[in-house]
Structure 1
């Protein structure tokens, strides 16, 4: 049964259509600027700093912040900032190689690894698979999240809602690829930031003000000690799980590749990381406010849904538009990222099918439709089985983290060959799988990354110094 009244449901549907329609209009407008495959895949290195900052925020803020993070705020107060802080730290680490990434004019993560280790089809294939599973997982699970959230509000069947969000995502991506996704995300991101602050403030007001919250919620949640209220064991688990996922997520790399100025690559990541703290404010305030009003929820992740039943009609309708913009921003970005891998890495680099610009864009659009349909089918057939996709973060990080970051540190001092990359990535996947099977306390991604790093260090051949080479040549002559 829908939780909204008929009037609210009509209002939510109209607001959602307005958001989707405006997003499509913006996508078409900005898509006209796209000229060729390079613009479609990497926005033609044309994004200003402010656009990069906001679109990173819009991409990273999905169903997890809307539901799971509010649950953290409900159960553990300001500990949600630790979670967001892990993403921030990940962005700060990415800053170390951001300038180099932008200077090299990459399009996808596998291109980074082949530049460091050399061209090899197996290297590209493994790296492409590791890079695309995460955004594809985002895509499918966001379809499910949209169907669940709006199914509760409107009573519409999940299949219909999945098809709606699939079509909306397609229409966001098809006109211009990353250039249309980025600019649309920029506009939606500004709306999301405004709504995050506004809804958090209203939730505090609904709970009787901050003073009433501090009177009814234990101080261990809202005081300074609330930052560690979740417990140190959970905090270290977050650090071990979230940091690697952030460091190897192609969605974040693509915004670096697309910066207009090389100097903006590093600043964009740092400032984007700071905007993630807005998600912490939103989730923490709403979680604490709901805890004050209803401390007896059996499942903390029901906190966001419970708040929906307390919002006035006008705010519920606007909040519905906020949900749509948040989810569509993430699905569009994830879809484009998957297509970039399949087009550039699989079709062009592995299959060796070089194409003209128009043909490459047409192929990218065809792949976009195919990927969307596959994700929608999975979301419809297995709406509860998609939780296994969370594991894609771990396996992706286990395969990619050491080759990217350790490879970057070693590439001037060691001779890096394709065999080293292949062995390192396979060792990461194997180490991750073994730890996963043993159900280790420490996230299994850590074991995979460690195994990958050890193998890479063992196989990286020290590069001979130029002076030694010259001396040897003199002696031989």
Structure 2
């Protein structure tokens, strides 16, 4: 798609800067509430339920929903809801341990593993690496997505656009860490919900209305059967790939850690999962509308780009504001999550550096700048190579899923040791790599998780140490 007119480019630039400037102003305002390192790293357990719900939606709705999910809607109609439902299933499973997660006042995923299996630097190191690769991948790929999309709309240099989104992300995070990111995401999330539904409705209008759309698109896509139009084989592959990734995505856990009330931990996940279905409405409606207007697209993931060429100038400008708010909310959340791992797990827990509150916040801000620059450099130099980062979901899930969930189920019955965690995590890593090498039909994350679970259970039950639930619960309460 070529760039638009001078007026349209100017409108997009002004709108984008206004959205970013508004976000920065909110970040600075809410960042004043961050008084301690806990506030910076986990919002100090201060987020109301409605903020948790909307900020989960804003975090999860990134370039994937804007482009890839619309492609699913174009090719397979309402099957996009099957994809979104995988995230909902993941949230429902997380609900099983949500209350315990909030009660323990964790900051990162490695803290969960070490609480269950015992303090050990190797355990923390492996878990930290598995936890941070996913949000770092999100960060770098969102930089690339922003540059590619807006360079086509405006003709601006991708390098300049990457630097712009990098600076914007810094200003979203630096004032108050997760406190400022969560509240900014809340406001942007509300805007995104309204815009998602508005753009979906406008796309149907462009297609001639729902009646004309249904006359132009096969019923198997827009009818009730459209939910399974992608085919059960594809749907089960989505379940096998997306559910494990959701269960080990630190960004989702951090919102649970940050709930204001313990009772909100479960409700927040359930309601957040339901809001994800709004992404299905957006992607499905746009995909079907574009299918009705142009059924011959060579690449279904080009549906969003093609739609932009059909929109009036003023709609493109408004849609641009939606795109900016969507991407910067995801980059801010991903950046803060990586920084939390590096500060809490690597610097404090592995290196053993115990610093005061002021120095912890200062260090976190310094790390934020370093991570942002590294992600920008990778996005500029290796934008085409960043597709391999998709694999980080599989490896993260293979390493972390069994230790977190099996560890939780066993921790009141057996005295778990660091050896069980290390064995399980390494087995997950190897199992995932072997399955990927063999190019298995089932997503290789499944083999990794299975290998991890088998080895972890073998080591755990091979130990003669047992503990009663009452005794272990008492130890946790003291802790």
TM-score range, shorter chain: over 0.9
Q: Does 1:37 align with 2:37?
A: yes
Q: For the residues of structure 2 that align with 1:239 and 1:450, how far apart are their CA atoms?
A: 15
1:285–1:466 CA distance, 2 compared to 1 (3 A): closer
Report the alpha carbon displacement of residue 462 of structure 1 after superposing the two structures with TM. Answer: 5.8
1:402–1:465 CA distance, 2 compared to 1 (3 A): closer
TM-score normalised by the chain length of structure 1: 0.97
**Residue number in structure 1 paired with 2:18:** 18
1:465–1:297 CA distance, 2 compared to 1 (3 A): closer
**Residue number in structure 1 paired with 2:218:** 218
**Residue number in structure 2 paired with 1:339:** 339
**Residue number in structure 2 paired with 1:472:** none
Report the alpha carbon displacement of residue 36 of structure 1 after superposing the two structures with TM. Answer: 1.4
Q: Residues 413 and 463 of structure 1 are in contact (CA less than 8 Å); yes or no, is this contact kept in structure 2?
A: no
CA RMSD across the alignment? 1.1
Report the alpha carbon displacement of residue 3 of structure 1 after superposing the two structures with TM. Answer: 2.9
**Residue number in structure 2 paired with 1:73:** 73
**Structure 1, gaps ≥5 residues long:** 470-477
Q: For the residues of structure 1 that align with 2:271 and 2:159, how far apart are their CA atoms?
A: 38
**Residue number in structure 2 paired with 1:89:** 89
**Residue number in structure 1 paired with 2:200:** 200
Q: For the residues of structure 2 that align with 1:99 and 1:166, how far apart are their CA atoms?
A: 35
Q: Residues 412 and 468 of structure 2 are in contact (CA less than 8 Å); yes or no, is this contact kept in structure 1?
A: no
1:44-59 alignment, distance < 5 Å: 44-59=44-59
What does the per-residue CA deviation read over 1:20-43, in whole Å, with 9 as the maximum and x for residues that have no partner? Answer: 000000000000110011100000
**Residue number in structure 2 paired with 1:427:** 427
What's the secondary structure of 2:112's corresponding residue? helix
**Residue number in structure 1 paired with 2:295:** 295
Q: Does 1:64 align with 2:87?
A: no
What does the per-residue CA deviation read over 1:97-123, in whole Å, with 9 as the maximum and x for residues that have no partner? Answer: 000000000000000000000000000
**Residue number in structure 2 paired with 1:391:** 391
**Residue number in structure 2 paired with 1:142:** 142
Q: Does 1:409 align with 2:425?
A: no
1:389–1:150 CA distance, 2 compared to 1 (3 A): same
1:384–1:466 CA distance, 2 compared to 1 (3 A): closer
Deviating beyond 2 angstroms after TM superposition, the runs of 4 or more aligned structure 1 residues are 461-467
Q: Residues 3 and 309 of structure 1 are in contact (CA less than 8 Å); yes or no, is this contact kept in structure 2?
A: no
Q: For the residues of structure 2 that align with 1:462 and 1:231, how far apart are their CA atoms?
A: 47
What's the secondary structure of 1:309's corresponding residue? helix
1:465-476 alignment, distance < 5 Å: none
Q: For the residues of structure 2 that align with 1:5 and 1:408, how far apart are their CA atoms?
A: 57
**Residue number in structure 1 paired with 2:278:** 278
**Residue number in structure 2 paired with 1:153:** 153
Q: For the residues of structure 2 that align with 1:232 and 1:268, how far apart are their CA atoms?
A: 30
Stretch deviating more after TM superposition (372-381 or 225-234): 225-234
What's the secondary structure of 2:47's corresponding residue? coil
Report the alpha carbon displacement of residue 2 of structure 1 after superposing the two structures with TM. Answer: 3.6
Q: For the residues of structure 2 that align with 1:458 and 1:433, how far apart are their CA atoms?
A: 21
Q: Does 1:112 align with 2:108?
A: no
What does the per-residue CA deviation read over 1:327-386, in whole Å, with 9 as the maximum and x for residues that have no partner? Answer: 000000000000000000000000000001000000000000000000000000011100
What does the per-residue CA deviation read over 1:155-202, in whole Å, with 9 as the maximum and x for residues that have no partner? Answer: 101100000000000000000000000000000000000000000000
1:466–1:353 CA distance, 2 compared to 1 (3 A): closer
Q: For the residues of structure 2 that align with 1:43 and 1:35, how far apart are their CA atoms?
A: 10
Q: Does 1:128 align with 2:128?
A: yes
What's the secondary structure of 1:262's corresponding residue? coil
Q: Does 1:366 align with 2:366?
A: yes
Report the alpha carbon displacement of residue 464 of structure 1 after superposing the two structures with TM. Answer: 3.7
1:402–1:179 CA distance, 2 compared to 1 (3 A): same
What does the per-residue CA deviation read over 1:402-434, in whole Å, with 9 as the maximum and x for residues that have no partner? Answer: 000011001111221001000100000000000
What's the secondary structure of 1:384's corresponding residue? helix
Q: Does 1:458 align with 2:449?
A: no
Q: Residues 414 and 468 of structure 2 are in contact (CA less than 8 Å); yes or no, is this contact kept in structure 1?
A: no
Q: For the residues of structure 2 that align with 1:225 and 1:48, how far apart are their CA atoms?
A: 38
Q: For the residues of structure 1 that align with 2:323 and 2:117, how far apart are their CA atoms?
A: 42
**Residue number in structure 1 paired with 2:98:** 98
